[in-house]
Chains A and B, each alone.
Chain A
Amino acid sequence: MIIDGWWVDGFGCLHDHEVAGLGTGVTVVVGANEAGKSTLLGFLRAVLFGFADRRTGEKLYEPLRGGRHGGRLRLRDGAGGVWTLERFADGARKTVALRAPDGREAGDGELRRLLGNVDAGLFKSVFAFSLSELQDLRSLDDQGVRDRIFSAGVTGAGKSARDVIKRLDQRAAELLKQGRGQAVINDLVRDINAKRAEVSEAERAAGGYGGLLKEEGALDLQLHELESQTEPLETRRRRLEALVEMHPQWLKLRELGAELAALPEVADESLPDRVAGLVESLTGQRAREERITVLAADEARARDDLAVHLGRLGAGWTVERVRAFDDSVAVRDEARGWRERLEAAEGESDAAARERDAAAGRVAALQHERDGVAAEVPEQEPRPADAIDADARRLSGLRSDVQDLQQQRLIEQSTRSPVAPGARVGLVAAVLAGAGAAVASALGYGQLAVGLLVAAVLLGVVAALGSASRGGRAARGPRAGGEGAPGARSASSAADDLAVRVAAAAATFGLPPVPARADLEGVQAGLDGERRARGEWDAASARLRDAERRLSSEAATAARLVEAATRAAAERGSLSDGWDAQLAERGLSELSPAGFIDLVGVIGEARAADAVVRNAGRELAGIEAEARRWDEAAADALVSAGRAHVSHDRETLRAALLGLHGDLQRRLVVLADIRRGEESLTARFGADETAAESRAELASGTVVAWQEEESRLADQAARVKEEREAILEERARVRQRREEIERSADVAQLQNELESLRAELAVRVREYRELVTARELVAGTLQTFVRERQPAVLARASEAFARVTDGRYTSVEQDEAGDESVVVVSADARLTPEQLSRGTAEQLYLTIRLALAHEFARRSEPLPLVMDDCLVNFDPRRAAQVARLLVESARDGQCLLFTCHPETVELVLEQSGGAARVIELTSSA
């Protein structure tokens, strides 16, 4: 790659400065001081690799004469293609744009490839430097130049081997760092160590299980031994406690013994109970005495009452009769039964008589009522109602026919004609029939009369109709020309027929053939009267039948009641006879059942009084016997106790008995107290052989001595108890720990966790090994390259340096000390750069740079050399040699040489045979 030209928009003192058409070979940019040569060097670096960062302290070259900060470079690649690279900085915002020869925008990768994968540092160190920077490259390894030179462009991706190593190092460092750094493997190792400690602790705990088992057993044994020591101690201490506790009881027993000795002895063991029983029954004895008094008074009163009752019963009644008389409940019930039955029979007899009399009264009243009704019924029975109704219907039909006939007559009159001979015959026949009917009716042949009457009416009607018909025909004939004659005749015939029927019907009612309206009304009135008479007759007949039915019924009832009254009276008589027989059986008479009952009541009272007399006597005898027995028992008891009693006074006897009883009771109390005391001692001390010892101690020891001994033993027991509790506590702790271990899955879990960490560590270690091995493969290969290529660089530098120094120094070599620095070798010395003069040292560094640039160009992409006044310290001869060297180096590449010295321009032009390009940079650029 070479720089084909540039355009500076604004950069330091440069503004709108453009150069174009640069090619290979040497181009000298000449300008006075402050013309902008160093600025241009900065511009080229900035556009190629980026603007300086304010934080680094490098010079920023902000525009002093206007324009945007930055500019453009035209770069020509090995194939002749021209790329345009623009870079501007607008404050903090920086932009870069690379355009490929085909006009498209290109990326960073293409820019890196275009620059041979050189970074800013390497470019500054080897390819573009000022005089002051010339000596910065003191060794091949300075700033990693050597590695970068040899590794540049070695990778397919355009990266340097150094980049690959760096990346692998980064990845490896993420996995493992030296020392105690934070990285995956370091962390894992820490986790593993911590986990291992946890496992050890858990294993130690689990391993202590057997020990815990043994420890638990030993503690059990200790406990057992301690308990065996404790037992006699506790036994003695309990006895002492008992002695102290029971000592008062013991003293009390001694007192009771003395009291018992003072009380009388009792030979008869049953005496206390006997005396106690008598004392207990003393109240009863007193009650008996009182009862004797009461009973005697009761007996006297009852005898008096008995005499009174016998008096009420009358003569012949003695106590014996009273006692013998049956006044049982059954007898009294039976008497009450007789009384009830007799009363019922009387009641029933009286009621039957009353009903019988009432019935007779009702029969008489009904007979009277029937006779009245019979008188209201007429002797002549009117015609039956259906005959009257039949006449009424016929009359109605007649009334209708008469009306029809009148209408037809009116019609007929309008077509008046003589009555036809037929009609006349009909009428005559009707008249005759009517007359016959009248005769028949008069002679009592009603039906015949009716038949004749009907025949007369029919004949009359037929005659009338026939006349009318003919008349009609005659009347209508001339007017109608013969056509209306049949209708007229027919109408006339119908009227005639109707007239005959009317005449016949009228005849049945005794009316003229053509009855007038008044006739018909008269017949109607007759029929209505006949109907009313018939209704009245029917009603009177019904009432009569009803009265006769009720009379008959009541008469039957009266007859039954007469019979009943007779039966009741007979029953009553029979019962009365029965009762009299009952009385006679008991030797009584003239008593009603009620009187008998009263008698029995008095007998009962007498019997009661007699019973009181007898009972009181019996009870009195019994009580007096009991009282005597008690007295005798009391006297016996006193005698048994050696206390003879001679008085017959019951009060004295009772007092003596009570005295004896008191003494005996006290003796019992003392004995009971002694027994209880003994029982307490037995309960406290037991009944075995140690009890006797305890009792002996009670008799011989003192409370104070016992308490002192007990205090000593209590202290001793407390110590033992404390020791026992401590052992129990320890055993519980050991047991709990053992059970915890039994339940615990800690070891297994921790082991698994540890193994999990180790598994992960194995993976990461493998990964790390692969990474660092890969890294070493790349690094080793690079080292080999360096090692193999470096001699060529040094050889080239040696040759160039020998030419520049006219053979004074024959070679440039790597220092044998191995610190990667170089030495120069002359015929008689090996000198370090520091031992050279400034000019010679600068010539050395320049020739090394040229050799490095050549090696780089061989391995990667040739890059332009840019030098700012680097020849100023050279003497003319060496300056000429260097100029020639530059011209030769730039034969296939490019060298931009900035200078303010015209002689340098001349020198280059001379060494290049005038081929060098000269560009003048003015301060106004």
Chain B
Amino acid sequence: MPHAFRFIHAADLHLDTPFQGVARPAPGVARALREASLEAWERLVDLALEREVLFVLLAGDIHDGAERGLRAQIRFLAGVRRLDEAGIRTFVVHGNHDPLDGWSAVTGWPAGVTVFGAQRVESVPVEFHGVQVAVVHGISYARREVRENLALRFSRAGGPGLHIGLLHANVGSSAEHAAYAPCTLGDLAASGMDYWALGHIHRRQVLRDGAPWVVYPGDTQGRSPKPSETGAKGCYLVSVAGGVVEGLEFCPLDAVRFVEHRCDVAGAADVGALHARLAEALDMLRGEHQGLALLVRLVLEGRGPVAADLARDGVGDDLRATLRETFGVLEPFLWVESIVNATRSALDRAAIRARGADDFTAGLLAYADTLAADPEAAQRFVADSSRLLSVGQVERAVRDLEDDDPGEVLAAATDLALDAVEKGAS
């Protein structure tokens, strides 16, 4: 096939990023997490060399933060040097996490590296065996918060070949991520690009599979147990022939994978039975993700007799510790990041309500129902209840955390209170 080539599209490397939401991991796990994003980058370089790609596109957020990324910058530089030595070009735009106004430890890039500026969209032709086969257009973020629709600045110019738009942007204003460089699919389609190599959204997705291709490869390494960070993470290997994208191949790069596993506790007579069920599930997960270190969030749901056990202080912690002892020492490790107790009390709420207003438990349930029906009231109630969290240093520490959903807190608290009142749970 004349002028057939491949390129890699990756984004959101967040090199040396701190992992969020992983409480007190074992030293070996912590070490693996610390190295994971850098290892994913090195795997990307290996992939580019192995698959002999023509160039590599990095669509922003290579670093998690300018002030944090010195080690990452040095490792990143080593990687692009390897690519350059192999004759593979690298195109980079900066995103909201690594805007151009941050300092850089890199004083000079290898010749094969193009870092797009923030003043205007630059267009760089790419040749293959002396023939221009592509034009890469790109623009970086000058600062962290870019609210301008940068996609509107792109236009097809620069000659023949596949025209690629390299941009860190939020298409369709995804609520999961900050609305930086917001744009619409229509904006992208109108630009005349053949392929939009986007970054910013961590959940990989192909928004359009042609005319033009609009692709988020997701981040190269999951960063937290959040849904958008779970599952395989990596990059797209894009095959081009005759100036047309023939197909995308997703290539996992992650060194540590976040996985969420939901387990229905129904039928588990006690904590021992539940432990056996969870251990079996974890074995299954290791089989599914063979060869990968896993961070698993177990979500326990459903109703069952074991739900009351789980509500007791320390039971969930003990269960998690036991599973960690078993699976955390394996190679590669499986680390139970947390066990989320989403089970519902086994109490028959309808029967409780039927007891009448003179019954304390019925009164409690009616009270909770009233609050749950009014989200604002529920929010106030939860906030008032936990007012100690709004004092002094605790308030400053808690302010940075993601807010708990008051409805969820109220529901869990209602279960807890009902169990405590009805069963005298301690």
Using CB atoms and an 8 Å cutoff, list the residues of chain A in contact with chain B.
151, 154-159, 161, 163-164, 167-168, 171, 176, 178-179, 185-186, 188-190, 192-193, 203, 206-207, 209-210, 213, 741-742, 744-745, 747-749, 751-763, 765-766, 768-778, 780-782, 784-785
A772 touches B386 (CB 8 A): yes
Residues of A within 8 A of B413 (CB): 769-771, 773-774, 777
| 8 pairs of A and B residues whose beta carbons are closest in the complex | A157-B424, A751-B18, A154-B360, A773-B413, A760-B23, A774-B417, A759-B23, A774-B413
For residue B416, CB closer than 8 A to chain A, the reply is yes
Residues of B within 8 A of A213 (CB): 105, 107
B421 touches A156 (CB 8 A): yes
Known contacts A203-B67, A761-B397, A761-B398; A766/B360 CB under 8 A: no
A778 touches B21 (CB 8 A): no
A-B contact pairs, 8 of them (CB 8 A): A186-B394, A207-B103, A209-B70, A744-B71, A760-B24, A773-B410, A775-B417, A778-B420
Known: A210-B104, A777-B367, A777-B417. 11 other contacts (CB 8 A): A158-B424, A164-B424, A203-B67, A758-B20, A766-B404, A769-B386, A770-B412, A775-B417, A778-B421, A784-B367, A785-B360
B21 touches A759 (CB 8 A): yes
Known contacts A154-B421, A156-B422, A777-B367; A203/B20 CB under 8 A: no
Most chain-B Cβ atoms within 10 A of its Cβ — which of A748, A755, A782? A748
For residue B273, CB closer than 8 A to chain A, the reply is no
A769 touches B385 (CB 8 A): yes
Residues of B within 8 A of A781 (CB): 360, 363-364, 367
A164 touches B420 (CB 8 A): yes
Set A206, A210, A765, A780: member contacting B68, Cβ < 8 A: A206
B363 touches A762 (CB 8 A): no
Complexed CA–CA distance, A206 and B67 (Å): 6
Complexed CA–CA distance, A770 and B409 (Å): 5
B364 touches A777 (CB 8 A): yes
Complexed CA–CA distance, A179 and B395 (Å): 12
B409 touches A769 (CB 8 A): yes
Most chain-A Cβ atoms within 10 A of its Cβ — which of B72, B105, B381? B105
- Consensus secondary structure, chain B interface: helix
How far apart are B356's CB and chain A's nearest CB, in angstroms? 13
- Considering only CB atoms, which chain A residue lies closest to B30 in the complex? A752
For residue B401, CB closer than 8 A to chain A, the reply is yes
Residues of B within 8 A of A167 (CB): 420, 426
Residues of B within 8 A of A772 (CB): 385-386, 388
Set B18, B105, B381, B401: member contacting A210, Cβ < 8 A: B105
- Considering only CB atoms, which chain A residue lies closest to B38 in the complex? A748
Within 8 A of A (CB), among B386-417: 386, 388-389, 391-394, 397-398, 400-402, 404, 409-410, 412-414, 416-417
Residues of A within 8 A of B426 (CB): 167
Set A163, A755, A773: member contacting B385, Cβ < 8 A: A773
For residue B34, CB closer than 8 A to chain A, the reply is yes
Residues of B within 8 A of A763 (CB): 23, 338
Within 8 A of A (CB), among B15-56: 16-25, 30, 33-34
Residues of A within 8 A of B20 (CB): 755, 758-759
How far apart are B401's CB and chain A's nearest CB, in angstroms? 5
For residue B101, CB closer than 8 A to chain A, the reply is no
- B306-343 vs A, CB cutoff 8 Å, 1 = contact: the mask equals 00000001000000000000000000000000100000
- Considering only CB atoms, which chain B residue lies closest to A172 in the complex? B388
- B62-103 vs A, CB cutoff 8 Å, 1 = contact: the mask equals 000001101110100000000000000000000000000001
Residues of B within 8 A of A748 (CB): 16, 18, 34, 68, 71-72
For residue B292, CB closer than 8 A to chain A, the reply is no
For residue B423, CB closer than 8 A to chain A, the reply is yes
For residue B361, CB closer than 8 A to chain A, the reply is yes
A756 touches B70 (CB 8 A): no
- Considering only CB atoms, which chain A residue lies closest to B352 in the complex? A156
- Considering only CB atoms, which chain B residue lies closest to A747 in the complex? B68
Residues of B within 8 A of A192 (CB): 397
Residues of A within 8 A of B16 (CB): 745, 747-748, 751
Known contacts A155-B421, A758-B401, A774-B420; A768/B71 CB under 8 A: no
How far apart are A251's CB and chain B's nearest CB, in angstroms? 60
B424 touches A159 (CB 8 A): yes
Known contacts A755-B21, A773-B385, A777-B368; A785/B424 CB under 8 A: no
How far apart are B359's CB and chain A's nearest CB, in angstroms? 8
A178 touches B388 (CB 8 A): yes
Residues of A within 8 A of B360 (CB): 151, 154-155, 161, 781-782, 785
Residues of B within 8 A of A759 (CB): 20-24
Residues of A within 8 A of B146 (CB): none
A755 touches B368 (CB 8 A): no
B416 touches A755 (CB 8 A): no
Known contacts A207-B103, A769-B385, A769-B413; A168/B420 CB under 8 A: yes
Complexed CA–CA distance, A155 and B420 (Å): 8
Residues of A within 8 A of B391 (CB): 178
Within 8 A of A (CB), among B336-380: 338, 360-361, 363-364, 367-368
B409 touches A745 (CB 8 A): no
Residues of B within 8 A of A752 (CB): 18-19, 30, 33-34
For residue B126, CB closer than 8 A to chain A, the reply is no
Complexed CA–CA distance, A783 and B424 (Å): 19
For residue B248, CB closer than 8 A to chain A, the reply is no
How far apart are B13's CB and chain A's nearest CB, in angstroms? 13
A771 touches B416 (CB 8 A): yes
Known contacts A747-B70, A754-B18, A778-B417; A189/B367 CB under 8 A: no
Complexed CA–CA distance, A780 and B377 (Å): 14
For residue B382, CB closer than 8 A to chain A, the reply is yes
B105 touches A773 (CB 8 A): no
B71 touches A185 (CB 8 A): no
Known contacts A755-B20, A777-B368; A765/B404 CB under 8 A: yes
- Considering only CB atoms, which chain B residue lies closest to A154 in the complex? B360
Complexed CA–CA distance, A168 and B313 (Å): 10
For residue B209, CB closer than 8 A to chain A, the reply is no
- B1-24 vs A, CB cutoff 8 Å, 1 = contact: the mask equals 000000000000000111111111
- B158-198 vs A, CB cutoff 8 Å, 1 = contact: the mask equals 00000000000000000000000000000000000000000
For residue B384, CB closer than 8 A to chain A, the reply is yes
B416 touches A774 (CB 8 A): yes
Complexed CA–CA distance, A758 and B399 (Å): 11
Most chain-A Cβ atoms within 10 A of its Cβ — which of B21, B72, B104, B391? B21
A156 touches B361 (CB 8 A): yes
Within 8 A of A (CB), among B268-320: 313
Complexed CA–CA distance, A175 and B20 (Å): 21
A156 touches B423 (CB 8 A): yes
B397 touches A762 (CB 8 A): no
Residues of A within 8 A of B104 (CB): 210
Set A159, A756, A768: member contacting B25, Cβ < 8 A: A756
How far apart are A211's CB and chain B's nearest CB, in angstroms? 9
- Considering only CB atoms, which chain A residue lies closest to B357 in the complex? A788
How far apart are B413's CB and chain A's nearest CB, in angstroms? 3
Complexed CA–CA distance, A777 and B416 (Å): 10
Residues of A within 8 A of B338 (CB): 763
Most chain-B Cβ atoms within 10 A of its Cβ — which of A741, A744, A762, A785? A762
Residues of A within 8 A of B24 (CB): 756-757, 759-760
How far apart are B273's CB and chain A's nearest CB, in angstroms? 24
- Considering only CB atoms, which chain A residue lies closest to B371 in the complex? A777
Residues of B within 8 A of A176 (CB): 388-389, 394
Complexed CA–CA distance, A206 and B21 (Å): 24
Residues of B within 8 A of A776 (CB): 381, 384-385
Residues of B within 8 A of A190 (CB): 393
Residues of B within 8 A of A766 (CB): 404, 409
Complexed CA–CA distance, A778 and B368 (Å): 10
Residues of B within 8 A of A756 (CB): 19, 22-25, 30
- Considering only CB atoms, which chain B residue lies closest to A109 in the complex? B424
Residues of A within 8 A of B34 (CB): 745, 748-749, 752
How far apart are B65's CB and chain A's nearest CB, in angstroms? 8
